[in-house]
Structure formats: C-alpha cells, structure tokens
Amino acid sequence: MPAKPKILVTGGLGFIGSHTVVELVAAGFEPIVVDNLNNSDPVILKRLQKIVGQELKHYLIDCCDKEKLTQVFQSEMPLAGSIHFAAYKAVGESVEFPVKYYKNNLVSLFNLIECHQEFDIQPLLFSSSCTVYGDSDELPVTELTPLKPAASPYGFTKQVCEQLLIDVTNTKSIRALALRYFNPVGAHDTAEIGELPIGIPNNLVPYITQTAAGIRPILRIFGNDYPTRDGTCIRDFIHVVDLAKAHVAALNKLLNDTSVFFDVYNIGTGNGHTVLETVKAFEKVTGVKLNYEFANRRAGDVMSMYADTTKAEKQLNWKAERDLNNMMLTAWQWQKNIPS
C-alpha cells in the first residue's frame, strides 16, 4: 500500500461524506472525492480544503454513470478501497418519488461493485441506515434484531443494498462493512461544513435551524399522539463528527482484518431523544425560541428507534462522544455560517 492509501469517497461533498473526508485526511488517508453536487454545493469543496489545509481531488460525476465511474478508477489506481455515501436519503421524499430512489440508490451501488471487481479492489464501506429495521418490536435494536418490512422506499433500498453486498461478498470478490447509522446531526466545529439541504429540509434539525433563522415561518412536528413519554417520535441523534470517526474506525478494520467479508454495525449514541426534547435542547443552548406546532403523523416515520452500539464499541474501538446539546449548538453555528 502507498504511504497514504487512496480511498474513493462517493458523495464526498455531502453532509456525512464531507465530515468523513476531514477525518480521513486526519487519519493519514488520501480521499478521492466523487460527487455530482446533486445535494451539495461547489463552495463545500473550498471549505473542506480550508479545514484540511490541502487540495482535494474531486470528480464531478454521477455514480449511476458506469463509464465515468470506471474512468475514475482507471485514473486513481491503486485504490485501497471505497466509502459509498452517494444516495438519496429523505424518507418522506422516497414515499413521493419511489422510482427516483430505487434507480439512484441501487444503480450507483451496482456500478461501484462492478468497478471494485474489475479493478480487483476488495474493501468497500457502505452507508446504510437504521431504517432497515422498520418499525422494530424490540428496543434498543442490535445488529441481530430481525429486519421488518421497511416503512419507506428509502429504507427498502438500504435493505436491498445490504442483501446485494451479502450475496456479492459470498463470492469473495469484495469485502464490505455496512454502517447502519441512526440520525446524524450537528456540524463541524469550524462551522465551515454541515448539513446543506436543497429546498425545504426533510430532516428535523435543519428545519429547526432554518425556523430559528427565520427562513421557515414555523416548525411542524409530525405527530404528538404517539405512545411515547411526550407523544412525539423518539430518535437516536448522533453528531456527524462522531459518525465520521466511526467510518475511519470501520475502514481500518476492513483494511487490516482480511478475514472479514461482510458485517454490519449500528452507529448511534444508544440514547433516544424525543422530537420535543430535541426542540427544547436547541432552545436551551442557543437562547432562541422556536415557533412550532403539531401536525398529523407523516407517512414512512417509525415511532421509536435507538441503537445498541455495543458491537461497534467493542469491535471497532469506537464510541460516540458528543451530547445532544453539542449537536444543537454546532448545527446552529453552521446555520449562521451557511453560504448564501
């Protein structure tokens, strides 16, 4: 392996991808970024380079374009492996536009796997999701919790992608780890990068910060009649920097333990917070009062979901360190620093 192993990072200018690029550089890797800017902005590359203090190689291509993805592999050999973030990820939008989600999320992985096979590169780290568990009967969920029918097309694409990886890794042509992460929020401490939703946010925290900033007139909380402690959904929010560090830990395992062909890890904090508790935490740490109201439940939402992270802590030597207050504070600092 070269002194700085090259890692292809698809979706590397997105929310989780960009933070992972920072941690990869810090850990001595050379990230090769592939991103079609469908859910990002060119300014993120400039800000990323400012944080890491070096130029980063970026290919402006869509992973659904097999020919162009193959050219990237040809140009960048030898590659040590890849991390695959390039997917559509909004639960509500997937209910409305299922074909868009199936096409993008499946074809991009097909193409990446074929490139891995063609260029004989085994390690592939896959961005999965807690949505694979569906509306689980047991909490917290462990990696052995039976998967129930997904509550959204987005969740089902992640189930299908995991099964595809199981079947392909059984042929021993690639080795893969899937990280099932819970609800990534927050932003980098520099406030240079963070979640950058295009249009109306589908996720809670950017909607909170945009409401606080006056961009959105009101925050709607979907459902206050769930059988939870305050009637709102429960989620396991994890700081995006903690999540990025989990990717580096998982990548190191994939590169160093060649006996592993496929495995999955929950990446969360192990703590469930209600939507209302999250709103209150934001108000507390920022001093900004939010204008919010309750609305009907939203299609595709599960009532409660939080992780048992014991496996990741033991096998990857990783643990989430940041609390909900830090998540809300860094998200707000980022909101105030978002490029116009």
What does each C-alpha distance from 84 to 127, 161, 285 come to in angstroms?
6, 11, 34
In the block, tokens 């380079």 appear at: 49
Q: Which two tokens stand for residue 276?
A: 């209302």
Q: Does residue 23 come out as left (phi exceeding 0), alpha (psi in the -120 to 50 range) or beta?
A: alpha
d(CA 82, CA 104): 18
Q: Is 154 a catalytic residue?
A: yes
Nearest in space to 182 (alpha carbons), one of 253, 300, 100, 265: 265
CA distance 87 to 116: 18
Name the token pair of 172: 């021993």
Set 154, 226, 265, 306: catalytic member: 154
Backbone torsions φ then ψ of 306, nearest 5 degrees? -150, 160
How many Cα neighbours within 13 Å face the side chain of 216?
A: 21
Q: Is the dihedral of CA 202, 15, 83, 128 positive or negative?
A: negative
For every residue of 249-269, DSSP letters joined together read: HHHHHHHH-TT--EEEEEES-
Query: What residues are labeled active site?
Result: 154
